Amino acid sequence: MPRRSPDTRGLWLGIAAMAMFGMTLPMTQLATGTAAAPQFSPMFVTCARAVVAAGLSALWLLHGRAPWPTGRQAALLTVAALGNAVAYPLTLAWALRTGTSQHAAVITALAPLATSVVAALVLRQRVARGFWACAVAGCALVVAFSLWRSLQSGHGWRPAPADALLALGVLGASIGYVAGARITPALGAERVICWVTLAALPITLPGALLSWAAQPPLASVPASAWLGFAYVSLFSMWMAFFAWYRALAQGDAVRVSQLQLLQPFFAMLFAWPIHGQPVAASSLLFGVAVVGTVMLGRRLSAVGTAVNAAAPAPPAPPAGPPSPAGSTR
C-alpha cells in the first residue's frame, strides 16, 4: 500500500481537526447556555477549560520527559497561547452568549483567509494568484451562506459590538496557529499544544478562580452544561490541536488553513443531534461548493509551485576579479 505524502496526511489531519473544532460551537452553547437561560459564564468556560487542558498537558509532558523549550520557542509558544487559548475562546464565548451561532459564523468565516495571509507573510511564501482567488471565493461563500441562514431564521443579521472583538479574536487565533506551526517540526504537535496551555496559565488560572465565585450553584447546573464544558476542555482545547498543528506543519500552512472553511458546516452537522437543528439541503450544497474551492485552490497552488520550480534559473552574473583574501561579497 503506497504511503501518503506529508501534504495528503496534512489534509486528512486538518479535516479531522475541523470536525472536532466544528463541534466546539454547539458544545460551547451547551456550557454557557443563552442570555435567557445562562449556565457557566463565558469567562469561566474560557479560562477553566484551558486550566483543565494545562493539567492534562503537564501529565503528558512529565510522562514523555519533555525538555524545556528554548527562549525562541518559548516566545512563539506565548504568542500561540495568547491567540489560541485566550483571545479567540473568550471572544467566541461572549459572541455565543449574546448572539446565535449563525451570526458568529459570519465573523469566524474570515479565519481561513486571515490564517493564510498571516502564514504567507510570516513564512514568506509566494502563493499562486489562483489560490488567493479560490481562498477569497471560499470565504465569500461561507459569509454569504451565514448571512442567508441568519435571514432565513428570522433573526436577521446586524453588526453587534461583540463582532469587533470576535474579529480581533479571529486574527489572534490566526497568528497563534502560525506561531504554533512554526515550532511544531522541532517540538511535535502534542508538545506544542501542551506548552501552549501551560504558557497561558498565568492568565487562565486567575481568570478561572475569579470567575468561579460568580457561577450558579453546582446542583443547579444541568448535565448538558457539564458535558459541553468537558468537551471543550478535552477536545477543543487539547486533542483537536494535536491534529491541527501537525496538519499545518506536515502540509502547507497557507493551503491547509483553508480547511477552516469547513468548520461552520461541521458545526451545523453536529448541531442537529445536539440542539435539534436539522441540516437543510442548501447547507449541503454550500458545503460541497466550499470543498470545491478548497480543492481547486490546493491544485492551483500546487501547479504554481511546480511551474516556479521548473522555471530556468537566472543566468549567473559575469565573473569579476577575485576578491582579496578574507573579504566577503
Alpha-helical runs (H) found in the chain? 6-22, 24-32, 42-63, 71-80, 88-98, 101-108, 111-123, 129-152, 161-187, 189-199, 201-212, 223-231, 240-250, 253-256, 263-275, 281-310
Q: Are the beta carbons of 202 and 269 closer than 8 angstroms?
A: no
Does the residue 325 lie in any domain?
A: no
Q: From CA 104, how far away is CA 155, in angstroms rounded?
A: 13
| Residue 217, CA distances (Å) to 29, 214, 222, 230 in order | 19, 9, 11, 18
Q: Which phi and psi angles does 258 have, rounded to 5°?
A: -70, -15
Residue 27 lies in a domain: yes
Cα 137 to the center of its chain, rounded Å: 19
Q: Looking at the domain assignment, is residue 315 inside a domain?
A: no
What would you report as the CA-atom Rg of the chain, rounded to the nearest whole angstrom? 22
Rounded CA gap, 196 and 245, in Å?
A: 12
* pLDDT at position 112: 82
**Is 97 contained in some domain?**
yes
Confirm whether 219 is domain-assigned: no
Q: Which domain holds residue 85?
A: 6-214+224-306
Residue 1, pLDDT score:
46
Gap between the terminal Cα atoms of the chain: 50
* pLDDT for res 242: 92
**Tell me, what's the pLDDT at 236?**
92
Cell of 173: 487565533
* φ and ψ of 157, to 5 deg: -140, 120
Q: Give, as one character, the DSSP assignment of residue 85.
A: I
pLDDT at position 79 is 95
Of the candidates 268, 287, 290, the residue with the CA atom closest to the CA atom of residue 279:
268
Q: Nearest Cα to 29, choosing from 205, 234, 232?
A: 232
- For residue 328, is it within any domain? no
- In DSSP terms, 33 is beta-bridged to 38
Indicate the SS3 state at residue 83: helix
pLDDT at 231: 96
Tens digit of each residue's pLDDT, the chain (329 residues): 455 677 788 889 999 999 999 898 889 888 988 666 778 888 899 899 999 999 999 999 999 999 999 999 999 999 999 999 889 888 887 877 766 666 676 678 778 888 888 988 888 777 778 888 888 888 888 778 777 766 666 655 566 667 788 888 999 999 999 999 899 899 998 999 999 999 999 999 999 999 988 787 877 889 999 999 999 999 999 999 999 988 988 877 788 888 888 887 788 788 778 877 676 677 677 777 877 887 787 777 654 444 343 334 444 444 443 333 333 33
Locate 11 and state its grid cell. Answer: 489534509
Classify residue 326 as exposed, middle or buried by CB count within 10 Å of its CB (0-12, 13-18, 19+): exposed
Per-residue model confidence (pLDDT) at position 318: 43
Residue 311, in any domain of the structure:
no
Provide the number of structural domains found in the chain: 1
**Residue 57 lies inside a defined structural domain of this protein:** yes
